[in-house]
Structure 1
Amino acid sequence: MKILVVGAGVLGLTTAFNLVEDGHDVTIVDKTGPYAQASSRSFAWINANHKLPAEYHRLNRAGIAAHEEFQRRFASHGTWFHQHGCIMFDSTPDKATGYDERFTESAEFDYPVERIDSDRLRELEPAVSWPTDSGLFFPLEAHLDNEAFGSLVESFLEEADVTPEVAEVVRVDTNADGASAEFADGDTRNFDQVIIAAGADSGAIAFRSGLLLPVADLSQPGPRTHSLLGVTVPTDVSLSRIIISDKINVRPRHDGSMFVQIPSVEARTEEGESPELLDEVRVVMEAELQALFGKRIPVSRVIFSGRSFPEDGLSIVGYLDEHHRAYSLVTHSGMTMAPLLGRLVADEVRGDSSHLLSTFRPSRFTKGITQESPTNFIGRQ
């Protein structure tokens, strides 16, 4: 089949890769270029931690397994999937209750978790000046070198003579015989199917096409749609694992730098991006880094990052039209689930429906739209 993939982020690239492997004639486009938006600005914590309801947990858990398989399959190309686990700690007065709830929830899902004390904390990450004597360790979790992963998949596509085009899709029309895509430059092209994997832009493309795809609007900034992500300078501080807490989220990067988030400042995304906001957040990030590592680690930049967020918080995967010509692929957990969803979408194009996706069909919104708003929590991304 002749298939258009709209969006060259992590989901679009992995979907195009699987479609090409299945022998389809694939065109992939992105209005700003491959990996130019949310995929390059992701904390990239690969996890199924506190991903509710149970169906969403299972989908994310399968996403971790798909990453493991992808890394094994292409190990000769390097290592981008770092499955060293995640340490979670809570410094609030309610930490005992929080640990108990998260431990019980994880155990019910048969999701590996370990209660750890101060000795185990120091054993796992000796460079950290731990502000707590207890925590939880999730050994299945990982962090992803997201740009390296994206470049690898893009190189596989280029080997198949598929190069992402810089082009903006305005709307899509479908009928029993196929689909047509109208581009911002006035061009119209015909395809057998169109996969809309354009992140936060997916909702607008669908709306202009007369299709229902409720995705949060990036023009209204806030914690649902935006995050503040810091990038440190390369440092000699040794850190192997992700740390998630009420005070700071931090993880290593391939070049010796770190990604850092501060949960307490995320609400400030409602102010919108400004140099003043980014400077003030940088100061907070550096203070929390110094408290955690006992030394100054400069933050080289703070990114005001938009992200794809379905209105009810859950993935939207499936056909949008009665003719099964326009397919939606939108999720907040794209980094965790990209290798999985890329394969499942290709399977569904072939006609093989996945039970893992039954809860996440776009048709659920015909009954009304429930808007999910993040609450104060530790570690749900």
Structure 2
Amino acid sequence: MQNEFTVMNPSSVGERKADTQPINDEMNQVRSTVEQTRHSIKVARREFDEHVEKFRFGVRVLWAVVILLAATLIGFSWFGHSDLKEYGTRLAQLPALQNVASVMSDRLAATEGTLTDWRNDQTSLTERMARLEMVVSSNLRGARNQAQSFANQIGQRIRDEINQKLERLQSRIGNVESVQRETQDHVAQLQTEIGNMRRDMTSMQQQNAQKLSELQEAKQATQADMNTVNSQVTTINNQVITHANRLNAISNQMGRDRVAFEVFNNRTQQVAPGIYVTVKHTDVAHQRVDGWLQLADEGRIFWIRGLGSQETFQFVTRTDNRTHELVFTAIQDTGATGYLCNRRKLPRSVLI
């Protein structure tokens, strides 16, 4: 359920993180302050311990000096008492020793006063440390109480939001279940219809297979008939082509007028009414002719370039729309001989 809530409401996690971020920052700040205070206390205690050790060492040295002076004084006293009469002059040194002893007593009193001051400073520092610890503890308790209050508020709000979203989620789940039941009923109906359709399709496939076999048999029979018809049509086409070739040969023989001519180099000669031929150059080795053909009535010129022997040069006259053929049969150095075929208009009965 928690995973579904997180998937359907991805923004709630971000909102909770945004709400708890100030509390986390404040808690981190309080922890940093406490750590700094503890470090300061440790440093102050270390310095105080160092000063106490130094003072104790000085006191020990001072007491050692005092004890040494006392022992010296006692030794001198004992030694002087035994030889008081013999060493009368040494008695004059006793006031100086007494002065030294008094000076040492003053120094010892000053040292004791310094030690008392150090003890007072230690007591003051201890009181200040106690007060600092009380302030830090109070701040820490306040921060903890505030953080706990914020956490309780945020937790309550998160629980309220979760409850609301769970209610909406349960409502959606109910809707989904109802839709799912309707979908299952619809799917069952569709499955029934699909089963009926499959049976109909199976029947239709069987009918189609039967009709396809009948069509294939009919196609085979029709193919055989078509082959027979095609062979017959091919035979008829061949006969038609043969008759057409014969008819064209007869038409060509009946519809042409052949006019022979002989022309000389660099001279223009009339080879038929209105048709003039000029031979400009002849190539006997290769049997080719260069020149031109002129239709005087139409004012047109056809250029002849490299026309070989027995090659046909065709042209059409515009006046009667007739095709003419020019053929050179022999080519010499002085000129060429050939013929001109004029296609005559045949009677309609001959063309048919």
Measured against the shorter chain, the TM-score band is: under 0.3
* Normalised TM-score (structure 2): 0.14
Look at both structures and tell me which one has the larger radius of gyration over its CA atoms: 2
Report which structure shows greater RCO (CA 8 Å, sep ≥6). Answer: 1
More strand by share: 1
Task: Name the one with the larger helix percent.
Answer: 2
